[in-house]
Structure 1
Amino acid sequence: MVAGSASNAGGRPRLGGVESLRAYAAFAIVIFHVIHLAQAPVPQSLEFMKDFFGYGVPLFFVVSAFSLAYGYDGRVFGDGRLQEFYLRRLLRIAPLYYLALATWMAAMALIGGPPPSLSLLVLCLTFLFNLAPDAVDGIAPASWSIGVEMLFYVIFPFVMALARTLPRAILVTVAFGGLALVFAATGTRLKLNPSFVVHGLLFNLPYFGFGLIAFRLSQFASPRLGGVLTIAGLVMTVAMWASASMLAGRIGWTVNILYMMAWGAPFALICLGMALRPLAILSNPATEFLGKISFGLYLGHPQVIFVLSQLGVYERIQEIPGGSGVTFPLAVLVTSAALIPIAWVLYAFIERPGMELGRRWGRRLRAASSAPARTADGLIAAQAAPPSAEQI
Structure 2
Amino acid sequence: MTTKSNGAAAPARRPHLGGIESLRAYAASAIVIFHVIHLTGAAVPHSLEFMKWFFAYGVPLFFVVSAFSLAYGYEGRLSSRGEIGQFYLRRVFRIAPLYYAILLFTIFTHGGFAWMGANLRVLALNLGFVFGLFPSTVDGVAPASWSIGVEMLFYAILPLVLMVVRGPFSAAVATVIASGVAVIYGLRLDAIAGMPGSFIQHGFLFNLPYFGFGLLAYFIHRRMPVTRAAAALIVGVIGMLAFYLIGQWPTPLMPGRAGNTVYQLLWGAPFALLCLGMAFAPPVLLSNPITQFLGKISFSLYLAHPHVIAWMAHFGGYRWIEALPGGSGVRFPAAVLLTFAITVPIAWGLYKLVEEPGMALGRALSPSKPALQQAPA
The TM-score with structure 1 as length reference comes to 0.88
1:80 match: secondary structure: helix
User: Residue deviations 1:276-295, cap 9 Å, x none?
Assistant: 22121100011001100000
Residue equivalent to 2:375: none
| Partner Cα distance (1:79, 1:156) in 2 | 14
Residue equivalent to 2:7: none
Q: Give the Å deviation of 1:220.
A: 1.1
Q: Give the Å deviation of 1:113.
A: 8.7
AA in 1 matched with 2:222: Q
User: Which one of 245, 262, 265 corresponds to residue 266 of structure 2?
Assistant: 262
> Do the aligned partners of 2:179 and 2:208 also contact (CA within 8 Å) in 1?
yes
Alignment of 1:127-276 (within 5 A): 127-191=129-193, 192-246=195-249, 248-249=251-252, 251-276=255-280
Q: Give the Å deviation of 1:11.
A: 3.2
Q: Give the Å deviation of 1:116.
A: 6.4
User: Residue deviations 1:199-235, cap 9 Å, x none?
Assistant: 0000000000000000000001111222221111011
Where in structure 1 do 4 or more consecutive aligned residues deviate above 6 Å? 112-116
Q: Give the Å deviation of 1:247.
A: 5.6
| Partner Cα distance (1:271, 1:282) in 2 | 12
For the pair 1:293 / 2:297, whether they are aligned, the reply is yes
CA RMSD of aligned residues (A): 1.8
User: Which one of 354, 360, 364 corresponds to residue 356 of structure 1?
Assistant: 360
> Do the aligned partners of 1:116 and 1:139 also contact (CA within 8 Å) in 2?
no
Alignment of 1:1-392 (within 5 A): 11-78=13-80, 80-109=82-111, 117-191=119-193, 192-246=195-249, 248-249=251-252, 251-363=255-367
Paired residues in the alignment total: 358
> Do the aligned partners of 1:304 and 1:339 also contact (CA within 8 Å) in 2?
yes
Q: Give the Å deviation of 1:115.
A: 7.9
| Partner Cα distance (2:224, 2:80) in 1 | 29
Residues 115 and 31 of structure 1, relative CA distance in 2, 3 Å threshold: farther
> Do the aligned partners of 2:182 and 2:205 also contact (CA within 8 Å) in 1?
yes
> Do the aligned partners of 1:35 and 1:50 also contact (CA within 8 Å) in 2?
yes
AA in 2 matched with 1:58: P
| Partner Cα distance (1:65, 1:125) in 2 | 23
Q: Give the Å deviation of 1:79.
A: 5.4
| Partner Cα distance (2:282, 2:117) in 1 | 46
Residues 38 and 115 of structure 1, relative CA distance in 2, 3 Å threshold: farther
> Do the aligned partners of 1:91 and 1:358 also contact (CA within 8 Å) in 2?
yes
> Do the aligned partners of 1:109 and 1:115 also contact (CA within 8 Å) in 2?
no
Q: Give the Å deviation of 1:252.
A: 2.4
> Do the aligned partners of 1:130 and 1:138 also contact (CA within 8 Å) in 2?
yes
Moved more, 348-357 or 208-217: 348-357
Residue equivalent to 2:373: none
AA in 2 matched with 1:104: T
Q: Give the Å deviation of 1:19.
A: 0.3
**What is the percent sequence identity of the aligned residues?**
52
| Partner Cα distance (1:90, 1:77) in 2 | 19
The unaligned stretches of length 5 or more in structure 2 are 5-11, 371-377
Residues 116 and 174 of structure 1, relative CA distance in 2, 3 Å threshold: farther
| Partner Cα distance (1:338, 1:195) in 2 | 29
| Partner Cα distance (1:116, 1:291) in 2 | 37
Which structure would you say has the larger Rg?
1
The unaligned stretches of length 5 or more in structure 1 are 3-9, 368-392
> Do the aligned partners of 2:150 and 2:203 also contact (CA within 8 Å) in 1?
yes
User: Residue deviations 1:122-153, cap 9 Å, x none?
Assistant: 11011010001110001011000000000000
> Do the aligned partners of 1:173 and 1:206 also contact (CA within 8 Å) in 2?
yes
Residues 311 and 248 of structure 1, relative CA distance in 2, 3 Å threshold: farther
> Do the aligned partners of 1:108 and 1:115 also contact (CA within 8 Å) in 2?
no
